A = this chain, B = another copy of it.
Amino acid sequence: MAVNPNAESRLAGPVRVVGAGLLGTSVGLGLRARGIEVFLADASPTNVSIATDLGAGRPATAGDAPQLIVVAVPPDVTADVVERELADYPDAIVTDVASVKLQILDSLIARGADVSRYVGSHPMAGRERGGPLAGRADLFVGRPWVVAGHDAISYKRASAIDDLILDLGATLVEMSAEEHDRGVALISHVPQVVSSLMARRLVDAPSASVNLAGQGLRDVTRVAASDPELWVQILGANSTPVREILTAYREDLDRFIEALEDVNAPGARRRVAEEIAGGNTGVARLPGKHGIDKRFSTMIVMVDDTPGQLARLLHEIGEIGVNLEDLRLEHAQGVQVGLAEISVVPEAVERLTTELVARGWRIAG
């Protein structure tokens, strides 16, 4: 029943999860790990039975009385499912985890759904693989999870969503649906388009050119491997802010192309420099340790491409007493050697270099 054996959890009552894919199964696993009862529903009975076997909850039944319902279905059917859940469970609070928020809220209001019990949310987490088998109890740990509050739901009711997020170990971020959608358009949807269109340029390129590609192009185009079907739904649901940002991007691009038409014309080189410098300013605003982080210096150490070598390197860096701030592996083309790019505080570079060289490591940069 709805008794929660784990004193640490915030949620009290049982949770119904609709959609036992990656996100739904992960929600179920995370809540079960805290002893919270979970009822699983999915249009696919197979998904329900896999998620149940994994320990994400038990199959939903007619008599369930959930406190909270988490709708984790594809974006294009989310509003329909939320509407139905609100009607079927008149005492439950309902949230969804779709990556676009305003269209769903507007659609629910337009249909006369009881949005005093609905608040949309969006965990900034995912994996390359989908489906219940990819689900993990820890999927949301440390990830931002946006709650898109609105005026029609009371603070007290919405707090059930906050409890869900904190129980799953995520970081609660509050913003309006409009702010959220514009935010994800900028930090996720437009970068996806920019990356996909860049990767498209490779389709008909000569192999000799493509084979020269290094880490720069690989980074710019990594997300271009994403699922087209999902992105049609996301971009379709968030077309207004995505189009606005892409239009501003195109204005910069037009200016850039114009400057390249005659690079010796007065002001042309200055314009090119300004656009690149603007990129410097923009990228410096990104949080986290990745990217070219000015707080850290990077070194490249050559590592034989055999098991245990990288572990030995990191073990020895630990012995030397330097804290590794970041690590990336690069594999050079055509040779059995990897390049480990390590980030450390600038003060440590000289000593670390000396010590690693003394231990026989080759520093490649």
The distance from the CB of A20 to the nearest CB of chain B, in whole angstroms, is 16
Q: Please, which residues of chain B bring their CB within 8 A of the CB of A363?
A: 136, 138
| Residues A250 and B252 in contact, CB atoms below 8 Å apart | no
Residue in B218, B254, B300 whose beta carbon sits within 8 Å of that of A291 in the complex = B218
Of all chain B residues, the one with the shortest Cβ separation from A245 is B201
Q: Mark A8-21, 1 if CB is under 8 A from B, else 0.
A: 00000000000000
Q: Mark A276-317, 1 if CB is under 8 A from B, else 0.
A: 111111111111111110000010101000111011001101
- CB of A77 within 8 Å of the partner chain: no
Given contacts A216-B191, A263-B236, contact A321 B292 (CB under 8 A): no
Q: Mark A219-237, 1 if CB is under 8 A from B, else 0.
A: 1111111101101100110
A: interface residue count bin: 35 or more
Interchain CA distance A126-B173 in the complex, whole Å: 39
Given contacts A136-B365, A211-B144, contact A190 B201 (CB under 8 A): yes
| Residues B136 and A364 in contact, CB atoms below 8 Å apart | yes
Q: Please, which residues of chain B bring their CB within 8 A of the CB of A362?
A: 138
The distance from the CB of A64 to the nearest CB of chain B, in whole angstroms, is 28
Given contacts A138-B363, A171-B334, A190-B198, contact A203 B315 (CB under 8 A): no
Copies of this chain, tallied across the complex: 2
Given contacts A194-B220, A221-B279, A224-B280, contact A143 B332 (CB under 8 A): yes
| Residues A187 and B331 in contact, CB atoms below 8 Å apart | no
| Residues B236 and A142 in contact, CB atoms below 8 Å apart | no
Interchain CA distance A317-B310 in the complex, whole Å: 11
Q: Please, which residues of chain B bring their CB within 8 A of the CB of A62?
A: none
| Residues B365 and A202 in contact, CB atoms below 8 Å apart | no
Stretch of A42-50, A113-121, A159-167, A267-275 at the chain-chain interface = A267-275
| Residues B219 and A222 in contact, CB atoms below 8 Å apart | yes
Interchain CA distance A273-B233 in the complex, whole Å: 9
| Residues B310 and A314 in contact, CB atoms below 8 Å apart | yes
Residue in B190, B261, B275, B323 whose beta carbon sits within 8 Å of that of A243 in the complex = B261
Interchain CA distance A208-B218 in the complex, whole Å: 28
From 174 to 217 in chain A, residues with beta carbon under 8 angstroms from any chain B beta carbon are: 175, 179, 182-184, 186-188, 190-203, 205-217
Q: Please, which residues of chain B bring their CB within 8 A of the CB of A144?
A: 211-212, 333
Q: Mark A63-98, 1 if CB is under 8 A from B, else 0.
A: 000000000000000000000000000000000000
Interchain CA distance A168-B363 in the complex, whole Å: 15
| Residues B332 and A142 in contact, CB atoms below 8 Å apart | yes
Task: Return the 5 tightest CB-CB contacts between A and B, nearest first.
Answer: A142-B332, A196-B279, A183-B209, A311-B314, A199-B282
7 new A-B contacts, CB < 8 A, other than A199-B279, A250-B257, A307-B317, are A144-B333, A186-B201, A200-B252, A203-B285, A225-B284, A242-B260, A250-B253
A interface with B by C-beta (< 8 Å): 124, 127-128, 134, 136, 138-139, 141-144, 146, 171, 173, 175, 179, 182-184, 186-188, 190-203, 205-226, 228-229, 231-232, 235-236, 239, 242-243, 245-250, 252-254, 256-257, 260-261, 263, 269, 272-292, 298, 300, 302, 306-308, 310-311, 314-315, 317-318, 321-324, 326-335, 337, 339, 362-365
